[in-house]
Amino acid sequence: MTLLAYVVPPLGAIGLFVLAQTSGPSDPSGIVAPVANLSATAILIWYVWYNQTRTLPGITKDHKDAMLAVVSEFKSEVAAERSQCLEQHKESNGKHETTHRAVANLHQEVTLHRALVDQGLKRDGVINK
């Protein structure tokens, strides 16, 4: 703990005690106003110290945890979307492969048919090569 933790609460208590003991607006010794100002300052200093060392770190930690949860959820959603797109891509490629195979088979058949037709035409003497 810092020095403020040991000094501020007693000063605040003294200031409150002095304010409680005085009654009325008159202060013959002239000590109430400085002690009241000192105690108010001490209370404000303690409030700032407490917020800096206790409250703000807790708020920061909670915010960080919440952001980590949001980022983790976003990453899992992106991963799921990517896997879905990959499946769609594979399915689309499968359709293209089927089409490609059909076109290749058709090309082979047409080439074979042309070769047979050419042979037949050569045999019949239509083509002289």
In a domain, 42, yes or no: yes
pTM attached to this predicted model: 0.43
In a domain, 40, yes or no: yes
Range of the domain at 119: 3-124
Instruction: Note the pLDDT tens digit of each residue in 69-81.
Output: 999 999 999 999 9
Q: Are 11 and 39 a contacting pair, CB within 8 Å?
A: yes
In a domain, 35, yes or no: yes
In a domain, 93, yes or no: yes
Surface-to-core class of residue 15, CB atoms within 10 Å of its CB (0-12 exposed, 13-18 middle, 19+ buried): buried
In a domain, 129, yes or no: no
Angle at alpha carbon of residue 86, lines to 85 and 87, rounded to 5°: 90
What are the average pLDDT values for consecutive 10-residue runs of the chain, which has 129 residues? 61 64 57 73 85 87 95 94 90 80 86 79 61
In a domain, 75, yes or no: yes
Q: What pLDDT is stored for residue 100 in this prediction?
A: 83
Rg of the chain over CA atoms, in angstroms? 45
In a domain, 88, yes or no: yes
In a domain, 96, yes or no: yes
Q: What pLDDT is stored for residue 22 in this prediction?
A: 55
Q: What pLDDT is stored for residue 9 in this prediction?
A: 67
Count the domains in the chain: 1
Give the Å distances, CA to CA, from 103 to 5, 19, 100, 108, 123: 85, 99, 5, 9, 30
